[in-house]
Amino acid sequence: MASHNIPKILLQHGWLSFRRAHYFDRSMGVKILMVFVGFIFIWYLAMAGALLPQLLDYVFPAKEPHHAFFSILLYLYAADLVTRFFVQSPPKQLIISYLPLPVSRSKLAGFILLRGWFSIFNIYLFPLLIPFFMRTLLFPVSANAFWLAVLGCFLLGALNHSLITWYKTWPGRQARIAALVLFIAGAGVAGGLYPSAFMNISEQLGRAFIAGNPWAFMLPLAAVAFFQSLSKKGLVQSFYDWAGTGHTKAPAGSSRIEKFFAGIPVFGTYWELEWKLIMRNKRASGGIRQWPLAIIGIPLFLYFAPGESSGQYIYLLVMVAGGYGFYHLQYAFSWESRFFDLIASRDADLYRFIQAKYYFYSLLALSQILPMLILLGFAAPDMVLPMAGMFFYVTGVIFAFLFYTGVNNSTRIDPNKRASFNFEGTSGTLFMTILAAMFSVIILMIIAYFLPFRMEENFAMVTGATGLIFILLHPRWLRATTKKFQRKKYHNLSKYREK
Amino acid sequence: MTAIRIEQLIKKYGQQTALHIDHLEIEPGTLTGIVGNNGAGKTTLFRLMLDLIEPTAGKAIIAEQAVTGSDHWKPFTGSYLDEGFLIDFLTPEEYFYFVGKLHGMDPAAVDERLKEFNRFISDEVLGQKKYIRQLSTGNKQKVGIVAAMMVRPGLLILDEPFNYLDPSSQIMVKRMLKAENEARGTTMLVSSHNLNHLTNICSRVILLEKGKIIKDLTPPQDDLGEVEQYFSLQAEDQNTERAGDPASDQNPARDTNRDTGHNAGPRR
């Protein structure tokens, strides 16, 4: 094998892939907006961390805030694990292009694993944890306790990182499914059946961290080493699978839902294509597969969430009530950017195409919001009406807004690339569009405030009525969107074609 | 009546003129070849004809109606320019059904029609349980060509259809085009870098250079040798220009790399 300085070269490539990402191709305005949003996110976490002691003091008055926090520490990292499961990229995405190089595969795998540690998921909790530990440990207890708690939390994050890396790297599908089933069963038993025992173990672990108990650090460290070595083995074993071209799992038209769509007159052709577009691309399918969790998770969150009025969760309702469509339609026509030349040059009616898209995402939203409304009826009955009203508002007003302004977003999307946040399809206009859509509900809240009934009912009426008007008038704004698209067709097509 | 008429068609990108055709008429049922070096304007011409880019001036007219902003030509036009015409998350079968459906063909009719392309695509493309994105470049090219021809268009536009294909497939494409043109009188516009392919099948060959038509020939009456001669002279001119380049004197290998993309030695 050649003796190039491969770690150095790969490190340089890692830096270049970051520096030359689509994010940096954006205009200065977009970059500033993104930095601003990132800053707001960090600020929000830091404020949450700084205010957490008061909240814990309120919920667990008999305990010190840091002890109370330690009792939910394992829940926090279980949630972190679930998030990573859906969003964190497997290291194989980094490795394929390096496979033909004259480098030992073991060395390559080792370095790719090392590079995998430079992930946002390994640091994103610290803006919350550090202010919290500063307030509860650094000043009231000791600097030692502070650093040991930070180290302990880092190790728990590292364990999650290693578990996910192993899970997404290991070639044996059955072993991975067994691991997933075991995890869900374990979490269900621990968190659901014996919550007090689980919280007690969690608290003991946190106490062991700040007491400097070596076992509390050695055990996660050993587990990290174990899963990292398994991941390395998995990476080396999986090389051939990843380098191969692969086959589709299902033959053409084998899915029942695809056949169902195909059989629908008028819109069936477009709906079938839309469904395949979502389900056969990592980015889109990743988004829609999170919905079953959201249907259960949002009612659960609203059940436990503190607060006296539904108004404080208004933006959550905006983001949720439109189902997956709210996310997808932000890039309305960019999803087809790679084959819009075909759509434009074949006998496809653009109005029908846009109309089919609107109906598809409205019906999808309905199918997602109905079960959520039923669960909300048990978990947070006060939120049922606002959520229902918001469904009409989002599928009427906001969808109309996204469709119409979506014509201005001529950026190209490669849906095969996996990204939780799509810098490639992002533009300054899009940012402003989303902000405007989110803030538009403020006006409705003000109107609702002056109506005679309860706030929840007023708000549901205002949003529902506004939304219904837009839904009823949809042929008008869909035609306006089509005309606008025709006007911008050449510009958008040329941008879609850019690579 | 002409199938295609072009009047004062100009496409500019900034100050640069990509295409400038004063007048061109394509008669129905002709198989017309467009040849030209890279950047000659072949793809630009096709995109203008398919209303995928907006002309700076002038118009392309299909069936006596300008294509810009109109859909009248779509039902009888089949085309394949590049991978932007493929939906890569579909399997080839699904893609053919989708395109067929847009042209009013049901799956059974598509299957029936695909049988005619069996030798061209069968083993490597159909029934492979692969998405188009997983196919080789050559097989993607085959899918695009078949999808364009499958709908039995009255007008067929293909950009570089011989690219990426193995020699047998290139011959098959030529035969398929010729057969379709003769049997159904399909008007065809086909571009290629390879003069031999076009000489064999085309009843008319148009030479584009820097966005302009510089020769319009009808073989076998016209001798295509002069087109070949034209390209030879172009190549000679480029070599001569490079010989005068000081950088070339200092580093001949660098010059060759720029020309061919690899260090293959001087080319004559």
Q: Is B25 helix (H, G, I), strand (E, B) or coil?
A: strand
Question: What are all long-range contacts of B167-171, with beta carbons under 8 Å and residues at least 24 apart?
Answer: B169/B120, B169/B138, B169/B142, B170/B197
- Residue B266 confidence class, pLDDT cut points 50, 70, 90: very low
Q: How far is CA A463 from CA A350, A386, A402, A479, in A?
A: 30, 8, 17, 24
Give yes or no for residue A365 having a pLDDT over 60: yes
- The C-alpha of A425 sits at a distance from chain B's nearest C-alpha, in angstroms, of 17
Beta-carbon neighbour count of residue A26 at 10 Å?
20
Q: Which of B68, B87, B110, B159 is best to mutate for the A interface (most A CBs within 10 A)?
A: B87
pLDDT band at residue B2 using 50, 70 and 90 as cut-offs = confident
Q: Do B52 and A248 touch (CB under 8 A)?
A: no
Report H helices in A280-383. Answer: 282-289, 291-304, 314-321, 324-328, 340-345, 350-379
Answer whether residue A152 shows pLDDT above 90: yes
Whether B246 and B150 share a structural domain: no
Cα A319 from chain centroid?
Answer: 12
How far is residue A237 from each of residues A92, A105, A163, A171, A241, measured CA to CA in Å?
A: 12, 10, 17, 7, 8
Domain end point (choices B191, B207, B222): B222
Which of B75, B82, B130 faces A247 most closely, judged by CB atoms? Answer: B130
Question: Is the pLDDT at A198 greater than 70, yes or no?
Answer: yes
Tell me whether residues B50 and A342 touch, CB distance under 8 A. no
pLDDT given at position A87: 76
Q: Find the range with the poorest average confidence among A17-21, A212-216, A364-368, A433-437.
A: A17-21
Q: Do A346 and B102 touch (CB under 8 A)?
A: yes
Q: What is the mean pLDDT of residues A94-120?
A: 73
Give the residue numbers spanning the domain of B184: 4-86+137-222
pLDDT of res. B170: 93
| CA distances (Å), origin A238, targets A91, A170, A225, A232, A249 | 11, 7, 20, 10, 18
* Whether pLDDT at B209 is above 50: yes
Which amino acid, one-letter code, is at A31? Answer: K
Query: Buried b vs exposed e over B75-106: b needs ≥16 C-beta within 10 Å?
Result: ebbbbbbbbbbbbbbbbbbbbbbbbbbbbebe
% residues pLDDT > 70 (chain A): 84
Q: Is A498's Cβ below 8 Å from some Cβ in B?
A: no
Do B94 and A252 lie within an 8 Å CB cutoff?
yes
Q: Lowest-pLDDT range, A485-489, B99-103, B253-257?
A: B253-257
User: How does pLDDT run across A73-104, given as a tens digit for each residue?
Assistant: 988 898 888 888 877 777 655 565 666 666 67
| Contact criterion met (CB below 8 Å) for A262 and A269 | yes
Q: In what order do the strands lie in the sheet with B57-62?
A: B16-26, B4-13, B57-62, B65-66
8 Å CB contact of B85 and A341 = yes
pLDDT of residue A139: 83
Amino acid at A195: P
Q: Does residue B251 carry a pLDDT above 80?
A: no
Q: Which residue has the tokens 């939906």?
A: B87
Q: What is the pLDDT of residue A2?
A: 47
- Residue A426: per-residue pLDDT: 65
**Distance between CA atoms of B125 and B9, rounded to whole angstroms?**
39
Mind listing the pLDDT tens digit for each residue in A236-268? 776 655 554 445 555 555 678 888 888 888 899
Q: What is the pLDDT of residue B156?
A: 96
CB contacts < 8 A (A, B): 93
Same structural domain, B207 and B240: no
**Closest in A281, A349, A497 to B89, CB measured:** A281
- Domain containing B145 — which CATH number? 3.40.50.300
Please compute the mean of the pLDDT values over residues B221-226 and round it to a whole number: 70
Q: Smallest CA–CA separation between A272 and chain B, in Å?
A: 9
Domain match, B73 and B180 both: yes
Decide if pLDDT at A424 tops 90: no
Percent of chain B topping pLDDT 70: 86
Hey, which residues does B9 pair with through a beta bridge? B21
B129 and A247 in contact by Cβ < 8 A?
Answer: yes
Q: Which residues pair with B33 in a beta bridge?
A: B190, B205
Span B175-188, average pLDDT: 94
Neighbours of A440 (CB within 10 A): 15
Class of residue A28 by CB neighbours under 10 A (exposed 0-12, middle 13-18, buried 19+)? exposed
Instruction: Give the highest mean pLDDT range of A8-12, A171-175, A206-210, A345-349.
Output: A206-210
Whether B257 and B153 share a structural domain:
no
Residue B250 falls inside a structural domain = yes
B218 and B231 in a common domain: no
Confidence check: pLDDT of A112 > 60: yes
B103 lies within 8 A of chain A by CB? yes
Q: Note the pTM of the prediction, 2 decimals.
A: 0.72
Q: What is the mean pLDDT of residues B143-154?
A: 94
CA distance B248 to B255: 5
Q: In this structure, are B218 and B229 located in the same domain?
A: no
Q: Does A348 touch chain B (CB under 8 A)?
A: yes
Condensed to tens digits (0 to 9), the pLDDT of residues A283-300 reads 788 778 888 888 988 888
Q: Are strands B65-66 and B77-80 parallel, antiparallel or unpaired?
A: unpaired
From the list A375, A417, A430, the residue with the least C-alpha distance to A37 is A430
* DSSP conformation letters of B105-140: --HHHHHHHHHTTHHHHHHHHTTS---GGGS-HHHH
The predicted model gives B96-107 an average pLDDT of: 89
What is the per-residue pLDDT for A449?
86
For A456-477, write each residue's pLDDT tens digit: 888 899 999 999 999 999 999 9
- Considering only A171-185, B18-32, B67-81, B153-167, which range has the smallest mean pLDDT? A171-185
Residue A332's pLDDT band, with cuts at 50, 70 and 90, is confident
Q: Let me know whether B248 and B267 are in one domain.
A: yes
For B99, nearest residue in chain A (alpha carbons):
A346
Which among B79, B90, B129 is the nearest to A276, CB-wise? B90
Which residues, including other chains, have CB under 8 Å from residue A365's CB and lie 6 or more apart? Answer: A321, A322, A323, A324, A325, A326, A391, A394, A395
- Angle among Cα A164, A170, A172 to the nearest 5 degrees reads 130
Contact residues, chain B, for A272 at CB < 8 Å? 98
pLDDT confidence band for B159 (50 / 70 / 90): very high
Whether B144 and B236 share a structural domain: no
Q: Measured between alpha carbons, how far apart are the two ends of chain B, in Å?
A: 46
pLDDT of A3 > 60? The answer is no
Same domain, B143 and B71: yes
Kindly list the residues from chain B whose CB atom is less than 8 angstroms away from the CB atom of residue A486: 69
Q: Is the separation of the CB atoms in A464 and A388 below 8 Å? A: yes
Q: Do residue A248 and residue B130 have CB atoms under 8 angstroms apart?
A: yes
- Please tell me the predicted confidence (pLDDT) of residue A21: 64
This model of the complex carries an ipTM of: 0.77
State how many domains chain B has.
2
pLDDT of residue A24: 65
Decide if A344 and B54 are in contact by the 8 Å CB cutoff. no
- Indicate whether B115 belongs to any domain: no
| Chain A partners within 8 Å of B102 (Cβ) | 269, 346-348
Report CB contact under 8 Å: A347, B75.
Answer: yes
Higher pLDDT, A88 or B190: B190
| B89 touches A: beta carbon within 8 Å | yes
Could you give the percent of chain B with pLDDT greater than 90?
A: 51
- Torsion angles phi and psi, residue A211, rounded to 5: -80, -5
User: Could you tell me if B218 and B230 lie in one domain?
Assistant: no
pLDDT at A4 over 60: no
What average pLDDT is seen over chain A?
83
Q: How far apart are CA A15 and CA A257, in angstroms?
A: 43
User: Chain A partners of B130 at a C-beta cutoff of 8 Å?
Assistant: 245-248
- Count Cα neighbours of B199 within 13 Å in the Cβ-side half-sphere: 13
Chain A residues in contact with B128 by the CB 8 A cut-off are 247
- The confidence band for B60, taking pLDDT boundaries of 50, 70 and 90, is very high
How far apart are alpha carbons A293 and A320 in whole angstroms?
12
Domain ranges of chain A: 27-243, 281-497
Q: Is residue B236 part of a domain?
A: yes
Specify whether the CB–CB gap between A169 and A88 falls below 8 A: no
d(CA A497, CA A339): 9
Judge whether A289 and A86 are in contact, CB under 8 Å: yes
Shared domain for B180 and B228, answered yes or no, is no
Q: Any chain A CB within 8 A of the CB of B98?
A: yes
At residue A240, the pLDDT reads 58
CB contact under 8 A, B89 and A341: no
User: What is the reported pLDDT for A347?
Assistant: 86
B260 band by pLDDT with thresholds 50, 70 and 90: very low
